[in-house]
Structure 1
Amino acid sequence: MSDHDTSAQDQILGIALVLASTVVFSLSGVLTKAIVSDTWTIACWRGLFGAVLIAAYVVWQRPKGHGSTSLRLGWRGWLLASVGSLASLAFIAAFKMTYVANVAIIYATVPFAAAFLEWALMRQKVRHPTMVAAAICVAGVVVMVGTGVGSVNLLGDFVAVLMMLGNALYMVLIRVFSKTPVVLAGAASALQLFVIGWIFTDPLDVSLHDGLLLILFGVCFAIAVILWTEGTKLITAAESGLLGSAEVPLAILMAWIFLAEIPPLASFIGGVMVLGAILWHANRDYRQAKSVLQ
């Protein structure tokens, strides 16, 4: 098989993995709001189960006979982990302080921040279809925010913006530090939240209801991180962020179903615009890759 064929297969796999991670991530808002415990407790528990499961995955995937080499993070890995920790903490806090729709809408701007950072750090050219789809996403976000959804809680929205910037930087660093065991960095990030969370709160002081939800949250987080990290390594950061924007309509839908949280009608219209752009972009890439394989 030629290198071109392998690249096309990687493109398809990357798209599938990132989209799958998005479906899991879309449950984050519902789980965060359903848990009564504070932000640090949630971060601590999610960090514990996330670290254990992600680390187990890394060890299982590690090539035989490599000893501890592939388990060394180095300063690049710990930098990546720290950026991920801050982004995750802001992610949880934002959901606690504002609507799920607000966080999902602001997260939709990740592709633009990621594209800018990728151009700045790697001089990576953004493809024309990605720019077109991103522009449609901007229009969808404008439709949603224009109704005043973003003004419900300014502090929560500001934290969501920090979350967005952190995630954009994280995605770009995955590609910049291509030789770093990025999935292990995800485990280290989760472990950081567990240790720091234990200092700031008493994670054992939770109800049975919260405990079960916290375990579920940790498991979902680990699955999403593994899928997202592996997928992002196979496609550009801008594409990964764009596909991840599917979380916008999915998260709003989940919040509507499970929390009875209903944003304005314009939010649904904007969400459809965003999802439509994402599906168009993903379908276009899939057809191109499929034609190459044939």
Structure 2
Amino acid sequence: MTALPSSTGDRRRGLLITGLGGLALSFDVPLMRLAGGEFWSVLAARSLSTLAAALVIWFLLNHVLRRPQPLLPGRAGCLVALLYGLGSLTFVAALFHTASANVVFLLAFTSMFAALLAWIFLRERPAKATLVTMAVMLVGVGLIVGGGLQGGHLFGDLSAVLSAFCIAGAITVGRASARAMGLVPLVSAALPAGVALVMMPHGFVVDQPSWVLLDGLMVIPLAFFCLATGPRYLSAPEVGMFYLLETVLAPIWIWLVFGEAPTSRTLTGGAILILALIAHALWQMRRTSGIRTQRS
């Protein structure tokens, strides 16, 4: 069980670190959009740069700081890497085949997929409030995906849903194994990188490679490091709320930079997803606080 914060200073530190991680993650989609170019080329550049960052971090941890950490901890680590790799592949595919706002709103469904998988495979029955939240979120997802069916980008919407499912699967396996998986999301970039290198028809075709390299070398590693560190200082529901920063902020950055306003169906569905998740996270925080009060 994650240790609860022991002081106000720890809590402030956790809020700062986790908030920085959520803010960094919100720039992932806009940076790939700024890079432009052919799908497989952008995927290869993003994945290879992320993998390079993972290897540098691993080298620093093991040989400079003397804090040994495996890249892939056992079979569970390999399975988690496979799921994260598939999630990354479908995420970029979704970005190229549907509206960016659809992608980030649909990825908000990851937490509910994780609750469902934990119920099935870990026998962790969700509370009634979680089941109600999942039902409400299905309405939001139905609105967004239904708009994709009408707009001709159903493949992209379904790719985003599949990405959320793969990430939820990776979280579930990591939780079941109780192994250190800090570097696995970054190392998993080897899978989409390999697929992209095989599929590229004409070599690298990226209009502005500096943007995608900035994303893979700095933004993604920073985001995952901060979000993975947050549970040391904050409760899990509180950390989960910071993942919503991408869902809330990424469409705003895209609108400001590219002038791509979400459709009314996407905004309505996204609002349902966000409000349902926030309400559920606040309920969990209140429930956790009540348990602590009873024990003290």
Q: What range is the shorter-chain TM-score in?
A: 0.7 to 0.9
Q: How does 1:218-229 map to 2 (within 5 A)?
A: 218=216, 219-229=218-228
Deviation at 1:235, TM superposition (A): 6.6
Q: Residues 134 and 42 of structure 1: is their aligned pair in 2 closer, same or farther, counting only changes over 3 Å?
A: same
- Runs of 5+ in structure 2 lacking a partner? none
User: Which deviates further from its counterpart, 221-230 or 152-161?
Assistant: 221-230
Q: How does 1:239-254 map to 2 (within 5 A)?
A: 244-254=243-253
Deviation at 1:19, TM superposition (A): 5.8
In structure 1, distance between residues paired with 2:173 and 2:202: 31
Cα root mean square deviation, aligned: 4.0
Deviation at 1:177, TM superposition (A): 2.1
Deviation at 1:65, TM superposition (A): 9.4
Q: How does 1:12-23 map to 2 (within 5 A)?
A: 20-23=20-23
Structure 2 equivalent of residue 172 of structure 1: 172
User: Which deviates further from its counterpart, 264-273 or 93-102?
Assistant: 264-273
Q: Is 1:183 the equivalent of 2:221?
A: no
Structure 1 equivalent of residue 24 of structure 2: 24
Q: How does 1:199-214 map to 2 (within 5 A)?
A: 199-201=198-200, 205-206=204-205, 210-214=208-212
Size of the alignment, in residue pairs?
A: 287
In structure 2, distance between residues paired with 1:174 and 1:261: 36
Please report the TM-score for the alignment, with normalisation by the length of structure 2: 0.76
Q: Give 2:164's aligned amino acid.
A: M
Structure 2 equivalent of residue 84 of structure 1: 84
Q: Give 2:215's aligned amino acid.
A: F
Deviation at 1:41, TM superposition (A): 1.8
- Runs of 5+ in structure 1 lacking a partner? none
Q: Residues 127 and 279 of structure 1: is their aligned pair in 2 closer, same or farther, counting only changes over 3 Å?
A: same
Q: Residues 196 and 102 of structure 1: is their aligned pair in 2 closer, same or farther, counting only changes over 3 Å?
A: same
Q: Give 1:105's aligned amino acid.
A: F
Structure 2 equivalent of residue 258 of structure 1: 257
The answer (yes or no) to whether the contact 1:8–1:290 under 8 Å persists in 2 is no
Deviation at 1:159, TM superposition (A): 2.0
Deviation at 1:14, TM superposition (A): 8.1
Q: Deviations over 1:85-110 (max 9, x none)?
A: 11101101110011112222322322
In structure 1, distance between residues paired with 2:201 and 2:231: 35
In structure 1, distance between residues paired with 2:131 and 2:245: 16
The answer (yes or no) to whether the contact 1:104–1:248 under 8 Å persists in 2 is yes
Q: Deviations over 1:47-72 (max 9, x none)?
A: 23222333444455569997856455
Q: Residues 265 and 65 of structure 1: is their aligned pair in 2 closer, same or farther, counting only changes over 3 Å?
A: closer
Secondary structure in structure 1 of the residue aligned to 2:182: helix
The answer (yes or no) to whether the contact 2:79–2:170 under 8 Å persists in 1 is no
Q: Give 1:115's aligned amino acid.
A: A
